Amino acid sequence: MRTLLVTGAAQGIGLATATLFAGRGWKVYGLDIQAESLFAASLQGGFEPLACDLADPKSIERAAASLTHLDALVNNAATHANGDPLTLSVEEWKRVLDVNLTAPFLLSRAVAPLLMQSGGSIVNIASTRALMSEPHTEAYSASKGGLLSLTHAMAMSLAPVRVNAVSPGWIEHAAPESLHGFDHTFHPSGRVGGVSDVAEMVWYLTGDNAEFITAQNFVIDGGVTKKMIYPE
């Protein structure tokens, strides 16, 4: 049986990914710091919960050491500290980088021997924030930009383990009924994205049909980052 480890599995893209893989016959470990939410999500999604604080290197080591086989790792967990860069604290900056960038590096290298044995792969969940920005998103954008660079660097260092990234755009996690018509028509695809759109791309990238794909970034944003916009 193929085995997946996905971080940030208590909600959103992580939960959707864990649930999709479990429903298609994989053994899935869902990792998250939110222990109670993770346990509830695991009951819903059919995967095994694994509590871990990704800001703590020792917690990452313990989580990785509990695994004996692995076919795919999805580094999805992320946090943010949006605020004026003139007043953003060093502590806030460091936690975002620790969770969003350092943790994927540490977890990937910790499980790399298992992935080499299985011929497995890694998928990093980045963001279109690595490519475009709004004000006051410096820490998050920097972490996701770094994650894209980490993706192609580790694809070279860990080969033949394949390492790819997915960069979601506007993904509605919880309340699609709150969206308006313009929210959808703004996207060239005709709608706002859903968590299943990202989960399905992860499914493809970890599968046998993607065995020639590595070191790449796949933007899942309904075409928005390619849309030229002028002020009215």
- What are the catalytic residues? 140
Taking phi over 0 as left and psi of -120 to 50 as alpha, with beta for the rest, 222 belongs to: left
Structure tokens at 166: 């997915």
- For the chain, helix, strand, coil in percent to 5 are 45, 15, 35
Residues 6+ apart with CB under 8 A from 147: 75, 100, 101, 104, 124, 126, 130, 165
* Letter string b/e over residues 9-38, b meaning 16 or more CB atoms within 10 A of that residue's CB: bbbbbbbbbbbbbbeeebbbbbbbbeeeeb
CA angle 206–61–141, rounded 5-degree value: 60
User: How many of the other CB atoms lie within 10 Å of CB of 74?
Assistant: 31
CA gap 136, 72 in Å, rounded: 34
CA gap 169, 192 in Å, rounded: 9
Place of tokens 């033949």: 160
Place of tokens 């930009």: 145
